[in-house]
Amino acid sequence: MPTLPASSDDIELAYLFDQPQAGRKPSFTSLTGIFRHPQLTTPAAFTALADSTLVRAHLLTERILRARESRTELFKVVKNLDRLSDLLCGVIDLTELVRNAHPDPTWIESANECYEKLCEFMNVLNTNVGLYEVLHAVLSDPEVVKSFSPEAHQTALIFWRDFKKSAIDLPPEQRERFVTLSSEILSVGRQFVNEASAPRPPTAIKPSELQGLKQNGMGTRLQLQARVTQRDLLVYPGSLQAHMIMRSAPAEEPRKKVYMASHSSTPEQIEYLERLLHARAELARLVGYDSYASMTLNDKMAKSPENINQFLDTLLDRTNSYARSALHALSLRKQAHINAPTLPIIQAWDRDYYCPPEPPAPPIALPPLTLGRVFMGLSRLFKHLYGVSLRPAEVLTGEVWHYNVHKLEVLDEDSGVIGWIYADLFARAGKSCGAAHYTVRCSRRTDDDDEAGDLMVEGAQDIVRSSQEFEEVKRQKVKGKDGVYQLPLVVLLCEFARPTISRGPTVLEWHDVLTLFHEMGHAMHSMIGRTEYHNVAGTRCATDFVELPSILMEHFLNSPMVLSLFDPDSSSATRQIGNLHEDPCRSIDTHSQILLSVLDQVYHSPTVLEPHFDSTAALANLHDMRGLIPHAPGTSFQTQFSHLFGYGATYYSYLFDRAIASHVWRKVFSDNPLNRETGEKYKREVLRFGGGKDPWMMLSALLGAPELEVGDAEAMREVGRWRIEDEVAIPGRH
């Protein structure tokens, strides 16, 4: 298929991101607030918005609680619960963005206060017995349930499950215990995460142990420092010196010392983790589950720990032979290096030395991949697949939180503007590290909100006016669709180097291009997931399904046809590089990720409540029974496994979605990744539903595989049999 010729929007898009201080369309309108909310011009206005939002939320809550007084109101309960959720999340999600991206401490302080205030009210709603009883009445009424669309029914079930997980139908004393445990989990979990990244004590490296270190900048400095001082060097885990030693020290002893120091824990750090795991297990028992994993997985694709084990066991079996073959290759390298008569054992501190890092590379030779060139390629790819493109948009004074933030319109060739992406892509002091996709606003139908029914308190109209103005900014008529919709708005945060006059455009490394494609996969899920309910819009879907669109986007970079879109006129020659060197450590790392997923399940199983549970012993036992590389006695890596908090019992999700994405790429896209018919099918069967349809049904329709519809243990085993392509990354992209 021929690529599209460069359009004026393509050229403007490339210019916007590649030229210093480029491309803001001039604004001739008056000052506005963040995201064009007229009142959000100061931190104080942010606080006022949160307060008026709480007033509206109270009014809407009271309306729902009275719903059984009117048959008409019963039919509106699910819609009103979704509105209530959107009302609160619309400000909470905004505060989350401001907390991580705004350069002004006063804005951040205001955002933190608003976040805590609104989350506290949200937690109260989750344990509101009256709301639960009203929803129970709705779901027990056959006539009301029959009136639901599939999306409405799914939304109702989401609320129902959330209530059930909040101990809503337990006696008051047990509900109080639930609240206490929930607070403990949050508090201890934060301590665990803080300690996971806390500096570890240094280890002493003798000057003689640095002999043979690579003669590059860092290696030379280390050796020179050792010779001059004639004293042991104190090397801190995580430092550049530590990384250099692990990658380049020929002697095994210094690598072992650094590894042991890097994977050490204090008794307090282990205690934080085990308190977190115990509190989670007790909370799950309190609400009727045998484990935290059982409680958490109940509404996921996996459904149960048993099904997860089917997936992980099958995947482990499939990976085992490749990983052991790779380990054998490392053993041969080590044998040759130390001149051993027999094959030596690969230890944990050998991995980095015998697997020197090789940066990933594209499959074809390309011109420098500037940030603007990559965005142009993304827009052209979306145009081929979905009839959707990106266009630079006017930014008003006060609309963004930093002058380097750019705004893009997402344009559908039939419907016009379907959402906005704010790109905050350049590194700066105080900005949250890493790459992330923030859903600041979800899609939702708004013309049937019936807001007049909320304002039952005299004088309420004056109290909530600012909150209603905040809502009005969101609403637009979508061409070709019935009704009025709240259009999605997302923010992409990255930390690329900013283009400068002296340095020129920002040129991305290949892993940066992968990251950008990943995050834009999330963004397009948010844009195309056009649902009537906030709670199932776009990326608001099952945890073990949400990474599929983003990981699939990375696979498009395997195609020379897609990479040709980075060329403005598609005329420059591209050269096929051929088969890339296969990194033998890739399958070893995949195996390690599977083991971590198994460990996550062990840590959230009923064994946590057994007397004398020992998280270190569980880790060591897993490595001894199923690992490739022996556990190093005296180490306790689990205290640095911070994903145990955020991903508790769902760490398998990234591997699971990577297996699905690899299979979808091979079966659906790889032959012709620019085919519009294929893109429309993916949009029609998967993206547009968000979380409003069972993911197994979506996957079954996309792949033409009816045997997957049930999503049972056999379906999980089937996914475990699928090959995972490309490198396996530790979950860190959002």
Domain boundaries, the chain: 8-30+364-443+487-572, 203-262, 267-357+581-721
Question: Which residues, in sequence order, are bridge partners of residue 484?
Answer: 477
Structural domain 267-357+581-721, CATH architecture: Orthogonal Bundle (1.10)
- Predicted confidence at residue 211, as pLDDT, reads 83
Closest CA to 283 of 185, 376, 187: 185
The span from the CA of 350 to the CA of 250, in Å, is: 10
The span from the CA of 250 to the CA of 253, in Å, is: 9
Decide if 453 contacts 63 (C-beta within 8 A).
Answer: yes
Structure tokens that stand for 515 in this block? 């990251």
Query: Measuring CA to CA, how many Å separate 243 from each of 265, 345, 349?
Result: 19, 22, 11
Closest CA to 411 of 425, 392, 424: 392
Burial (0-12, 13-18, 19+ Cβ within 10 Å), 73? middle
Decide if 420 contacts 507 (C-beta within 8 A).
Answer: no
Decide if 13 contacts 375 (C-beta within 8 A).
Answer: yes
- Predicted confidence at residue 695, as pLDDT, reads 96
Collect all residues with Cβ–Cβ distance below 8 Å to 555 and sequence separation of at least 6: 661, 662, 665, 669, 670, 725, 726
Decide if 311 contacts 323 (C-beta within 8 A).
Answer: no
Structure tokens that stand for 412 in this block? 């559908």
Q: What's the CA dihedral at 363, 364, 368, 373 to 10 degrees?
A: -80
- Predicted confidence at residue 361, as pLDDT, reads 72
The span from the CA of 293 to the CA of 308, in Å, is: 10
First to last CA, the chain: 32
Decide if 73 contacts 63 (C-beta within 8 A).
Answer: yes
DSSP 647-664: TTT-THHHHHHHHHHHHH
Closest CA to 137 of 76, 221, 56: 76
SS3 215: coil
Number of CB atoms found within 10 A of residue 656's CB: 29
- Predicted confidence at residue 5, as pLDDT, reads 56
Burial (0-12, 13-18, 19+ Cβ within 10 Å), 695? buried
Structure tokens that stand for 366 in this block? 């390309």
Look up 413 and say whether it is catalytic.
no
- Predicted confidence at residue 480, as pLDDT, reads 67
- Predicted confidence at residue 258, as pLDDT, reads 97
**Which portions of the chain are predicted below pLDDT 70?**
1-7, 21-30, 214-230, 357-359, 452-453, 455-475, 477-478, 480, 568-584, 725-734
Structure tokens that stand for 361 in this block? 């590379």
Catalytic residue among 151, 519, 532, 685: 519
Closest CA to 266 of 596, 638, 622: 638
Question: Does the model's pTM come out above 0.85?
Answer: yes
**Whats the size of the chain, residue-wise?**
734
H/E segment holding residue 85: helix 77-101
- Predicted confidence at residue 657, as pLDDT, reads 96
The span from the CA of 656 to the CA of 308, in Å, is: 9
Would you tell me which CATH number, out of the four given (3.40.390.10, 3.20.20.70, 2.120.10.70, 3.90.1150.10), belongs to the domain 8-30+364-443+487-572? 3.40.390.10
Q: How many helices (H) and strands (E) does the chain have?
A: 29, 12
Q: How much of the chain exceeds pLDDT 90, in percent? A: 70
Question: Which residues, in sequence order, are bridge partners of residue 490?
Answer: 421, 439
Structure tokens that stand for 609 in this block? 């409540």
DSSP 150-173: HHHHHHHHHHHHHHHHTTTTS-HH
Number of CB atoms found within 10 A of residue 447's CB: 11
- Predicted confidence at residue 19, as pLDDT, reads 82
SS3 390: strand
Angle ∠(282,286,288) on CA atoms, nearest 5: 115
| Helix, strand, coil tally for the chain in percent (to 5) | 55, 10, 35
| Mean pLDDT rounded to a whole number for the chain | 88
Query: Measuring CA to CA, how many Å separate 527 from each of 68, 437, 444, 690, 719?
Result: 36, 12, 11, 10, 27
Which amino acid, residue 439? T
SS3 233: strand
The span from the CA of 595 to the CA of 638, in Å, is: 12
The span from the CA of 73 to the CA of 63, in Å, is: 9
- Predicted confidence at residue 31, as pLDDT, reads 80
The span from the CA of 648 to the CA of 379, in Å, is: 36
